[in-house]
Amino acid sequence: MTRPGGGRAGTSTMLLFVAVGALLAAAMAVATSAPDDLTAGSAAPEPATSSVPPSTSSAERSAEPPPPKPPEDPCAAKIAALPLRARLAQLVVVGVDPRGPADALAAVQGEQVGGIFIGGDDVGLLSADALAPVHAASALPLTVAVDDEGGRVQRIEAIAGPMLSARRMAADLSPDQVRALAHERGRALRERGVTTDLAPVLDTSGQPDRTVIGDRSFSPDPDTALGYALAFAAGLHDADVVPVVKHFPGHGNTSGDSHLGAVQSPPLDALRATDLVPYRHLTRFGEVVVMLGHIDVPGLTGGKPATLSPEAYALLRGEFGFTGPAMTDDLGAMRAVTDLFSLPDAVTQALAAGADIALWSSGGRVGEVLDHLERAVAAGTLPAARVDEALRRVLASKQVC
């Protein structure tokens, strides 16, 4: 006999065992048919990819072209052969006594300066072959500079006759006639050992004749000033004399005379429409030097004279694309600078700011200036790389390399 309800309980138990057995069998079947890291219903992963690039065989590497070599610096060996003091000496042009060669010989033989400047009205040093022993004493080609623009700024009137002012040239002569005139003048200079003329003036000015620029400017019109300055520079080139165009970024419309004190030009944006227009054509001048003036330019120089302003040199090199030597106006006899700094400090600041040639017409003090420059290089205030950059331009302009 069975107990009441006993049949149903036994049947339920048996059914439970059967269900559990079926589930176990299904689980075992899945485990044997799928990878360990997959569960039922999951997709297989993408094959793994390596982040390491395939290796290149040595044969393939040897077939690749070598990287291009940097351009060779033709001046590197010349610069490396010069001691620091000799490098620095090449960056200065110092005034000498115009009466004879003794002072010039002392500057060249003593420190091998890069150049001399002959000012004043005495032409003793510019007569016959007076400069020949000075050139012979220089280990590297010597720059011999004069300030011969015409009008009230000329140096060889007693030898070659008077020359019209720039303003009179533009009024009375054609550009071709000006080129011929500058050629004759340049030939007279070159025959006497002069290599460089601090002309033509590229300033635009309509100011009266006797103002700081005045009749030294060809015209207040930038295109006219450019055309006549190009003609004058071409005439000097014809005579193998290096022109120096001046006074960047524009002295023709300043508030005063930088010989007498600080001066200010119109703001930079105004200069771009007038005084700076001719400088956009510097490549048309060929090989020239650009002289910077002692001009405070609002919006550019921050109260400093342009000759001592890194921003002024950056403007000349950048916006105006000039690659030749940049020269200072006179650092030793113009109060726009001398009221602010001693000569050694002014020369150091100018070279550090971007000048390649530092000029002082007052003469002497070469050893003192070079001592100061050597200390500045040692202290890092005048970087050695800046010295070599300037020297590279100077040597290239002298065709040394």
The amino acid occupying position 33 is S
Could you tell me the two tokens for 19?
A: 């269900």
* 217-225 contact pairs (CB < 8 A, 24+): 217/166, 217/167, 217/252, 218/166, 218/167, 218/169, 218/170, 219/167, 219/170, 220/252, 220/274, 222/274, 222/275, 222/277, 222/278, 223/277, 224/170, 225/170, 225/278
Out of 135, 221, 259, 281, pick the active-site residue.
259
**Ordered alpha helix ranges (H), 114-174:** 132-137, 157-160, 166-172
CA-nearest of 173, 254, 285 to 218 is 173
Question: Using CA atoms, how far apart are residues 306 and 391, in angstroms rounded to an integer?
Answer: 21
DSSP count for the chain of H helices, then E strands: 16, 8
Q: How far is CA 393 from the centre of its chain?
A: 9
329 is a catalytic site residue: yes
The answer to whether the CB of 212 falls within 8 A of the CB of 295 is no
The amino acid occupying position 231 is A
Could you tell me what percentage of the chain is helix, strand and coil, using 3-state DSSP and rounding each to the nearest 5? 45, 10, 45
294 is a catalytic site residue: no
The helix (run of H) or strand (run of E) holding residue 227 is helix 222-238
Out of 103, 148, 329, 356, pick the active-site residue.
329
The catalytic residue positions are 259, 329
